[in-house]
Structure formats: C-alpha cells, structure tokens
Copies of this chain bind each other. A is one copy, B any other.
Amino acid sequence: MTGLIVQKYGGTSVGTIERIQNVARRIAEVQKTGKEVMVVVSAMAGETDKLLRMAREISDRPERREIDLLLSSGERISAALLTIALNALGCPAVSMTGRQIGLVTDNSHTRARIKHINATRAKQLIEEGHVVVVAGFQGISEKGDVTTLGRGGSDTSAVAVAVAMGAELCEIYTDVDGVYTTDPNMVADARKLDVVYYEEMLEMASLGAKVLQIRCVEVAKKYKMPLVVRSSYNNEEGTLICEENPSMERPLVSGIMYQKNQSKVTLRGVPDEPGIAAGIFDALAEAAISVDMIIQNVSAEGHADISFTLDTDHLQEALEVMKKTAHQFKPENLISDSNISKISIVGEGMRSHSGIAARMFRTLSDENINILMISTSEIRVSCIIDSKYTELAVRALHDAFDMKTAPAEANGPAQKKSP
C-alpha cells in the first residue's frame, strides 16, 4: 500500500482523554489530505506501571504468561478509546488487537519476537477507507496465547506492521522533537538532526539514546522502512532515520552520546593462560551481568591485567561473582572504580574519513581529560573518562566537530551546490 503512513503514538501522547482527542484530530487531518493512515498506540502513560504494581503486590514472581495477558489490556484500552475519538470526529476508524492484526510471535512471554504478520484484514479495512488503530506491544503465540514484545515493544509493532502493510513511512510520535546531536539539556546548542542513518541510530540506541528502541531500528533497517521520529505536541519535521545515501551531504559525526553511572573493574596479575578470560566472563554471563568494554594487557612476566566496564547498578554483584570465581587472586588484585563515564561519537562519516578518532583524543587531551579506555566500531569511538569531566567532554567535542550547525558539505567541495 504505497500511500500508507503508519503512525505510532507513545504513552504520554495518549496519556489523557484530552490528549487522545488531540491525537485523533492530528490523524483525521492527515486522512483528509487523502493519505491512508494506520495507527499503533501504546498504553496510556502510567497504566502499564499500575498493572505491574498490582501483579507484584500479589506475587514476587508473577508468571510471565499472566503478565502478558495483564499488560496487553493497556494497549487495548487506548486503541479502543482512540478509535472512538476518531469516529466522533467523523473519521471512520476500526481498532485491531495484536491477534486481529495477525501479529504472530514466538512463545517467549514478556519479550516475544515477531515471527510474521498476516495483515489481510487490516489491508481490506484500509481499502474501505478506515483508519486502522492497532493495539501495540502485543501479539499472539502460535499456541494462541497473548504475548508482549518487551520494552519499547510498541515501536517494534509499528515498524513491523508498516513492513507487513508495505507502508511508505513509519512515524514514531513521542514527547521530543527528534534525534539531537547530543543531550540538549547538557549542550545548549545541541541541534536536531534532519537525517540519521540506521547504523548510526543502532549505535546511538545501544549507547542509551531513549528516543528509539534498538529492536525497532533493527527491524526498520532489515526491511529498509524509513522511520520519522517527531513530537506529537507540535508540527516540527522531526528526524528521518533511513538507509545510507552516499550522495547526501553528511556530517562526519552525527551524535555525541554519554553514559554516566558506569564502573570499571580491573583484575591485576591474571596468569596469561588460555581459558582465564573465558572463565571470568562466563561466570558474569551466568549471573546475567552485561559487560560493556573489555581490555586485556599482557605484561612482561607472563601475567595480564584484565579490565572491563559495566553499569554501576551491577557493580556489587559483579564483584561478588569475581571473588567467588577468581580464587587465584588476592583481594588487592581486584580493583574497581565507580566514577567513570563513557563518551561516544557516532557517525557514518567515519567510514570514509580517517583521523576522526585522533581528533576526539586530541580534543579531550586539550581539556586535560585523561582517557582510561577506548573502544571503537566502524562508525563509533567511545572513551572512558573520569565522570566529573562528562559535561566538559561532551561540550568540547560538540564544538570540535562543529555540530551546532548543519553541514553545508561533507564529501568535499566538488559536490558543493551552486548557490
């Protein structure tokens, strides 16, 4: 359906009756222009937490299958209310649950993965002139049980539905205007990006950008579904997330991310033998502790130092695991530091331009910020620094890469358009 737009509205956008009515007006206006519209909604803000709280009041370990039935009610309520609001405006609309949209998942309750979508009935309803309002976040397993897609599941629903419907675009409406070069609360001249490539968005999401969930971006990238992130409170253009386009003018660095609340653990003098590192990280994985960066230095005497970083929330637990596992170390060989931050620069421009990492290191060095650890991907450089320098580092990098203004050119003067 080439003219179809899928719009997803988050919990705050449908958090009150009045907001639901605002969203309905916005949708009705788009439909009036002749566009076909499909809508995916989250539960009204606070509803999911309220339901979870009740379940936890009853049981420390509520069954995941029952949690799915419980939580899926939230999106059904907002879908029904938005559909009623659309019809009240004279815009013909029909609600559909996860099952009715044919969203079939595996059996992993509370974090199900989409297997396929059979959108035949939705297509028919759209062709008949309806706006179809889909309850997000939920599907149905092949056994016929209600499943939910986990955190940010409604975004993933929206992209998957857009793919299944052959939509031209999937718009994610939220409470921010789009994706920014960095946190506007930290850097006053942070700039909203017009375009971000899937790969960049994946890096940003994995670095803690909350505007889009990583799974939603993965699905969009896989099926090349263009995403737009924009605010449901105004008519700003938002940020387009799409495939790489080499002819497009691009900045070298698109975004600067920071993560506070990081910790570093160092094991000194580990015997430099096969299997030692594996033993340490197996034990952490078994305890379900996610480790971020890992660095190993081999020293001269056949011993090595191993350092890794992780969320400070899991530091204590990690140290316990280390003490149990690494019998061979004396306690003084186990060192931790919970005052570190991770600063990252992300940009597709890094693929074709060298020297960007060097410019980052130079910028930090010019500010007398010591780099404790470094890790890189093709389109990302991350540095661990003392957390007290976080703001300073982010602002200095934002300036150094000239991010407050949109790039006039990225691929050299040859491609510069005549004015």
Contacts and interface: CB of A to CB of B under 8 A. Distances in A.
A126 interface: no
Contact of A146 (B21, B77, B97, B144): B97
Interface residues of A, number: 39
Interface in A289-348: none
Contacts of A17: 54, 57-58
A184 interface: no
A190 interface: no
A87 B63 contact: yes
Contact of A66 (B58, B65, B95, B145): B95
A69 interface: yes
Interface string A365-392: 0000000000000000000000000000
Interface string A53-71: 0110111101101110110
A254 interface: no
Interface in A31-81: 51, 54-55, 57-60, 62-63, 65-67, 69-70, 72-74, 76-77, 79-81
A364 interface: no
Contact of A70 (B51, B69, B77): B77
A83 B63 contact: yes
Contact of A80 (B67, B79, B97): B67
A84 B100 contact: no
Contact of A84 (B59, B72, B121, B145): B59
Interface centre among A20, A21, A70, A76 (most CB of B within 10 A): A70
A146 to B, nearest CB: 7
Nearest to A74: B73
Contact of A58 (B20, B67, B100, B146): B20
Given A17-B54, A59-B84, A146-B97, A70 B66 contact: no
Contacts of A80: 55, 66-67, 69-70
Contacts of A54: 17, 81
Given A21-B58, A80-B55, A69 B97 contact: yes
Contacts of A55: 80-81, 84
B51 A144 contact: no
A88 B70 contact: no
A85 interface: yes
Nearest to A88: B59
Given A73-B76, A73-B77, A84 B97 contact: no
Nearest to A87: B63
A329 B87 CA distance: 43
Given A67-B80, A80-B67, A97-B146, A85 B58 contact: yes
A83 B60 CA distance: 14
B76 A62 contact: no
Nearest to A145: B100
Given A59-B85, A69-B95, 15 more contacts: A17-B54, A20-B58, A51-B77, A59-B84, A59-B88, A60-B88, A62-B88, A63-B83, A63-B87, A66-B81, A70-B84, A73-B73, A73-B76, A76-B76, A99-B99
20 contacts: A17-B58, A55-B80, A55-B81, A58-B84, A60-B88, A62-B84, A62-B88, A66-B80, A66-B83, A67-B80, A69-B76, A69-B95, A70-B77, A70-B84, A73-B74, A76-B76, A99-B144, A100-B144, A100-B145, A121-B144
Interface of A: 17, 20-21, 51, 54-55, 57-60, 62-63, 65-67, 69-70, 72-74, 76-77, 79-81, 83-85, 87-88, 94-95, 97, 99-100, 121, 144-146
